[in-house]
Chains A and B, each alone.
Chain A
Amino acid sequence: MLLLKRRTPGEALFDAGNVLGMLVICFITIYPIWYVLVNAFNEGQDAMRGGIYWWPRLFSLDSFRAVFNNPGIMKAMGVTVAKTVVGTVLHVFFTAMVAYAFSRQELIGRKVYMLLGIITMIFSGGLIPYYLLIRDLHLLDSFLVYIIPAMFNFFDLIIFLAFFREIPSGLVEAAKIDGANDFGIFVRVIIPVSMPVIATIALFHGVYQWNDYFTGIIYINNMDLQPIQTFLYRVIAQSSSNLMMAAMPGGIQKSVTSQSIKLATMVVTTLPIVLVYPFLQKYFVKGMMIGSIKG
């Protein structure tokens, strides 16, 4: 006990250095995000002059007003919210359902099913055959392209499996004696006791859906169906800021620039994730660990 408590000067130096190093890493991590935030809340023309590092110089909400008044941006935002909510609910339900069936030892063909899944993790047809499949299924330019191909994921299934293995089998037996069928057991017994793992997978998939811009670039031509990330990609990577200005309603305030609208859109797009994730952190860390142990 004493040995552990007493700190030598060398130990104290180590601790101080370690804390300092960690604080530096935190600063480097958070500052670029902070920089975008304060610049987005600054008046657009003034922000162009640069030199805003810690706090807005001329505080203004005009850029955010312009974002919320822009029909193009708001439509893209609506698509993103819809695909995130619908996609996540379906993904979690479907993947968990298949995982539950795969987790039952008596399932005939279980080993074959698992093998089929494991093969998908180490080999795939690649982008082009996948694109042709999506085209042949008539999912091009359809909202369903965000949902159906993302309904299932074998990695997530493994995380579910690890969790289901820990559920006492007596729970399932009792429900069986009460006359429930396996689907009923899944919905009424398994789902309620699996909330921690469901929260984990829901967060992972929700973030994927929210952040995915590639699906929008490659499978969607109809601008009404593009998600906000694809919209931003077109603005940022192809530097077509006129895309943003063109989508502006007439009589826009002079203080707003395409750059300030870009920053405000980035903030609006990111805020939901930044607000949600600290609350779900304890779940997903546990989930990651379950997944990694099985790995």
Chain B
Amino acid sequence: MSADLSYELSAKQQQPVSRKVRALKLVRKLAGQRYLQVMALLGVAWMIIFNYIPMYSVIIAFKEYNIIHSVHEAKWVGLEHFREFLDDDELPGVIWNTVGMSLIKLVVAFPLPIIFALFLNELRSLQLKKLVQTISYLPHFLSWVILGGILTTWLADVGIINHLLMALGIIHEPISYLAEPSYFWSIVITSDIWKELGWSAIIYLAAIAGVSPEMYEAATIDGAGRFQKMWFVTLPSISGTITILFILAVSGILNSNFDQILVLRNSLNESASNVIDVYVYQTGIVSSRYSYSAAVGLIKSVIALVLLLGANQVSKKLNDTSLF
């Protein structure tokens, strides 16, 4: 009994001491890495200012924000802006344009770099492979403004496309492609493929380079042809990379390529070019309806997050590959 008591007492006395010692050790360790901590905290401070303050300010979507009041002082209005957006006549068109274009991109543009990488890998000449790579990366480094310039030149009434089609007798009158809503999606998707095909293939090429040569030798001995090797060896070996990129592509369904669309859109093709990002920019920045526009942006971010987590979960279940 008394022994127990004394044991407890000494434990009680010892604990604060050991805690103090631990705290002292921590302080000493912190002091030892003070330069390192300052370097790290400068980065953290930057993230707090430029990433976390905007995340906090998103509460203006639930408020009536104006320039006079601060984000803090503005009056709460609940879900009013969200309701307003759902009632907006423009909503169906905006959603249709955003999701439609993204889905076509997912189906058409997503597999192309994989196919390109597979065939590029089959080139026997290393020099030719390097040359093709260098050329195919090039458009990635041009800005959408420059590409917009190239496209407007090509698609103009007197441009090369009209020239060619008229010479071939396919059309008789020049078409103003960028003034026709019906052509807008095709222009956006084609030019996006043109710009990013080579660049997107890099990751797949890197994955293909990691496939063990013994697998190809074994397949060759088994009598597999080139297509069979691509299909049964290369493709399964890079399926992890494909899955990861597919998850990212799915989460970007509400992301239009804003830079691209801003350059190519005009008042004539508006019915096909008005996407969520453009809508947010127009209502928020151009018309200064900050709260309303922030609400639309928030809906978009939340859906994108859900899509990301959902696609990640599905892929984890199906084939054990996931981002997190």
Residues of chain A having any CB pair with chain B under 8 Å: 3-4, 10-11, 14-15, 18-19, 21-22, 25-26, 28-30, 32-33, 35-36, 39, 48, 50-51, 53, 94-95, 97-98, 100-102, 104, 106-110, 113, 116-117, 119-120, 122-133, 137, 149, 151-152, 154, 157, 181-183, 186, 207, 210-214, 217-218, 229, 232-233, 236-237, 239, 259, 262-263, 266, 269-270, 273-274, 277-278, 281, 285, 288-289, 292-293, 295
Contacts and interface: CB of A to CB of B under 8 A. Distances in A.
B132 A22 contact: yes
Contacts of A107: 33, 36-37, 40
Given A15-B124, A131-B284, A233-B145, A277 B138 contact: yes
B241 A292 contact: yes
Contacts of A239: 152, 266
Given A183-B35, A237-B263, A232 B146 contact: yes
A97 B42 contact: yes
Nearest to A269: B146
14 contacts: A25-B136, A35-B153, A35-B160, A50-B160, A104-B36, A109-B40, A124-B51, A127-B293, A128-B60, A129-B55, A132-B60, A239-B266, A274-B138, A288-B203
B168 interface: no
B16 interface: no
A135 B298 CA distance: 20
Nearest to A211: B143
Given A213-B145, A232-B146, A181 B116 contact: no
Interface of B: 26, 29-30, 33, 35-40, 42-44, 46-47, 49-58, 60, 71, 116, 119-120, 122-125, 128, 131-139, 141-146, 148-150, 152-154, 158-160, 163, 194, 197-198, 202-203, 206-207, 217, 220-221, 225-227, 241, 244, 258-259, 262-266, 277, 280-281, 284-285, 290, 293-294, 297-298, 300-301, 305, 308, 323
Nearest to B58: A125
A275 B43 CA distance: 33
Contact of A125 (B55, B123, B265): B55
Contact of A22 (B29, B56, B120, B297): B120
Contact of B294 (A106, A129, A186, A295): A129
B124 A273 contact: no
Nearest to B44: A113
B39 A182 contact: yes
Point out which of A29, A117, A120, A289 has the most chain B C-beta atoms below 10 A from its C-beta.
A29
B194 A29 contact: yes
Given A108-B33, A232-B146, A25 B132 contact: yes
Contact of B154 (A15, A35, A104): A35
A133 to B, nearest CB: 5
B37 A108 contact: yes
Given A36-B153, A127-B297, A108 B46 contact: no
The 8 A-B pairs with the shortest beta carbon distances in the complex, nearest first, are A125-B54, A98-B43, A126-B297, A211-B143, A101-B40, A129-B57, A129-B54, A101-B39
A129 B285 contact: no
Contacts of B120: 22
Point out which of A51, A102, A129 has the most chain B C-beta atoms below 10 A from its C-beta.
A129
B116 A214 contact: no
Contacts of B119: 18, 21-22
B46 A151 contact: yes
A22 B139 contact: no
Nearest to B204: A292
Nearest to B226: A14
Nearest to A229: B145
B138 A182 contact: no
Given A39-B153, A131-B285, A237 B266 contact: yes
Given A29-B139, A98-B39, A128-B297, A232 B44 contact: no
Contact of B160 (A53, A108, A151, A214): A53
Contacts of A97: 39, 42-43
